[in-house]
Structure 1
Amino acid sequence: MSETSAPRHVYGPVPSRRLGRSLGVDLVPYKTCTYDCVYCQLGRTTHLTIERRAYVDVDIVLDEIERALARDQQPDYITLAGSGEPTLDLGIGEIIAGIKGFTEVPVAVLTNGSLLWVPEVHDALMAADLVVPSLDAGDRSWFHRVNRPHPAIDFDTMLGGLEAFTRVFPGEVWLEIMLLAGTTGTPEQIASIADRVRRIRPDRVQLNTAWRPPAEASVHPVPDVRLERYASAFPGIVDIVAERPEHLSEGGGKAAIEDEDIFTLLERRPCTLEDIAEGLGAHVAEVLKRLDALRVAGRVTTSAREGRTFWIPS
């Protein structure tokens, strides 16, 4: 690969609510997923599938990661995530092993957990340092209403995969639970989900809610005060994954950034001005200048959510 060619699979580092500065690695095409979650910040799933394929070239991905590490400060994590379900890629295990061969930066995998019951997926993730799967419902009915899974994914089989993987994984498992107002964010569902968590026994539970623009307009976040109250229902260590305070940096950062740096970020997740500045290590004034240019070019626009402004591709 040419030294000057733009990366196709690596983006960021981005500011992560749980992982600090995270260098993202995208292993599947946009919105290729096993779920079509109502709260997804990237919108509706366009390719709902459980077929595992070689979506990326392993050597190209590893080369992009090495180059990103060489030109930037060391991130806190290298995170396999992106714009779809990363375990759908057949090379994920080889990529994890390859990363381990040239850096000590820990590897995290953000997954919806839907395929952990598949032996090849289970084995492929064993070399990671951290796996963050999801559990968004306590029963089959709400699982189908919130996650809208591929028809071949059974709720009990998915749960069994989560339990079996967590029992033997040598790293840490942080279980993310997305709670939605009026649906899964109710006392009845909290009790049901907490019951499942006791069987899974993750190292941490992370309660989240839909504060970024969701796939469905009917989705609303659970207020912070209620999340804090619900946290006591779950066993073990419980984190409330909340939005970071916005602080406008007055100095520091890179002298300049490229439009493509920003656009690559926004293709994977909606971001505020401060998200972009923090993730790219840039001054907010420089980011705003680049965003204005991208907006004039018709490449980006804004979306209001919970009183905040997010930048998204047009």
Structure 2
Amino acid sequence: MAIADSLEKVINLSFSSHERLSQYQRLTYPVISRRSGGLSLGVNLNPDKACNFNCVYCQVDRKKEIEAPLMIVEKLQAELEEWLQQIQDNNNSYRGHQLKDISIAGDGEPTTVKELPEILESMIRLKQQYHLDTCKLVLFSNGTQIDREDLRAIWPQFFKHNGEVWFKLDYWDEASLKRINRTKSSFDQLLKNLIQLGREYPLVLQSCFFSWKGQAFSPEQYQPYLDLIQRLTQEGVQIKLIQAYTLARVPAESHATPWSNEDMDHLQRMLEERLSVPIEIYYESGTKE
């Protein structure tokens, strides 16, 4: 079944627009993602925009009120099949873009959603059904409930089928966590969750870098962040990649502003000089070829 023409008209594929389509009662949406390297089929498990983080740089518009759809597993599965069938019928592409991944991202923290294990199982099944061998399954998470017992049971199959957890890490201690991510979750618990999962499976760390209230560019202020990464590797955490990115869309707080390409290049040199893990840099406008 093809996506309705009325919906096609409102879909805008660009780095600067990640429209969730929630106002059209949809739980899935296509985007062009900097970090995915192309077309990503997004899954929004939090159309109500509920999140246990309140990041100063958050690029989700929480001021705009809409009549959000209910998160119903059967509805989500039907939407995924609709998209995947259309993509398969077009040589595994949509509007000329090859499908890179199916990502649970959206407008909140997916590990707070009770049905997450069932949804991950469904994604694995659909990946096999549509022969998406090179397509990744990505779970964006701030790690708050990544230690759930019912999730631990699904991890072996998830990672076996090219699954990745992209774990948010913008902070390095309790103070920076409260200042940047503005959450009631504790630094110690989040770090425990990260270490526990990362010792078993390789993780992608996603870290946002930006200026606050016009402060001068200074990557050296992130030395405590580097110290934390080194501590994690010493404790046996498998870091597959660090995604260091800056803002590409309008943030929650206007005081948060993106770093320039030159600033991000400087950051990349510093990270690569001081860390022994792979680094990828994502600029305001995407990536540099």
**Alignment match, 2:166:** 132
Deviation at 1:175, TM superposition (A): 0.6
CA distance in 1 between counterparts of 2:207 and 2:152 reads 20
Match of 1:178 among 185, 193, 208: 208
The reply to whether residue 98 of structure 1 matches residue 132 of structure 2 is no
CA distance in 2 between counterparts of 1:7 and 1:31 reads 14
Structure 1 residues 124 and 186, CA gap change in structure 2 (3 angstroms): farther
SS in 2 for 1:174: strand
The superposition leaves residues 15-69 of structure 1 with CA deviations (integer Å, 9 ceiling, x where unpaired) of 11121210111111232111000001114589xxxxxxxx622222112101111
**Alignment match, 1:238:** 279
**Alignment match, 1:57:** 72
The reply to whether residue 17 of structure 1 matches residue 25 of structure 2 is no
CA distance in 2 between counterparts of 1:185 and 1:239 reads 19
Unpaired segments of 5 or more residues in structure 1? 47-54, 247-314
The reply to whether residue 40 of structure 1 matches residue 40 of structure 2 is no
Structure 1 residues 184 and 137, CA gap change in structure 2 (3 angstroms): farther
SS in 1 for 2:211: coil
CA contact (8 A) 2:104 2:140 kept: yes
CA contact (8 A) 1:179 1:185 kept: no
Unpaired segments of 5 or more residues in structure 2? 8-23, 65-69, 93-98
Percent identity over the alignment?
Answer: 26
Residue identity opposite 1:219 in structure 2: A
CA distance in 1 between counterparts of 2:278 and 2:216 reads 20
Residue identity opposite 2:144 in structure 1: S
CA distance in 1 between counterparts of 2:169 and 2:121 reads 27
CA distance in 1 between counterparts of 2:177 and 2:152 reads 22
The superposition leaves residues 219-253 of structure 1 with CA deviations (integer Å, 9 ceiling, x where unpaired) of 1222222222222333311010122379xxxxxxx
CA contact (8 A) 1:197 1:235 kept: no
Structure 1 residues 123 and 144, CA gap change in structure 2 (3 angstroms): farther
CA distance in 2 between counterparts of 1:63 and 1:94 reads 14
Output the TM-score relative to the length of structure 2. 0.72
Residue identity opposite 2:82 in structure 1: R
Give the RMSD, CA atoms, in angstroms.
3.0
Residue identity opposite 1:173 in structure 2: L
The reply to whether residue 146 of structure 1 matches residue 176 of structure 2 is no
The reply to whether residue 86 of structure 1 matches residue 110 of structure 2 is yes
CA distance in 1 between counterparts of 2:168 and 2:153 reads 18
**Alignment match, 1:223:** 260
Structure 1 residues 176 and 45, CA gap change in structure 2 (3 angstroms): farther
The superposition leaves residues 125-167 of structure 1 with CA deviations (integer Å, 9 ceiling, x where unpaired) of 5515111111111121111011001x2x111110111111111
Structure 1 residues 59 and 227, CA gap change in structure 2 (3 angstroms): same
Deviation at 1:194, TM superposition (A): 1.5
CA distance in 2 between counterparts of 1:68 and 1:7 reads 15
Deviation at 1:191, TM superposition (A): 1.3
CA distance in 2 between counterparts of 1:184 and 1:40 reads 21
CA distance in 2 between counterparts of 1:117 and 1:196 reads 20
CA contact (8 A) 1:27 1:89 kept: yes
Match of 2:248 among 204, 211, 215: 211
Structure 1 residues 148 and 124, CA gap change in structure 2 (3 angstroms): farther
Q: Which is further off, 98-107 or 61-70?
A: 98-107
CA contact (8 A) 1:194 1:235 kept: no
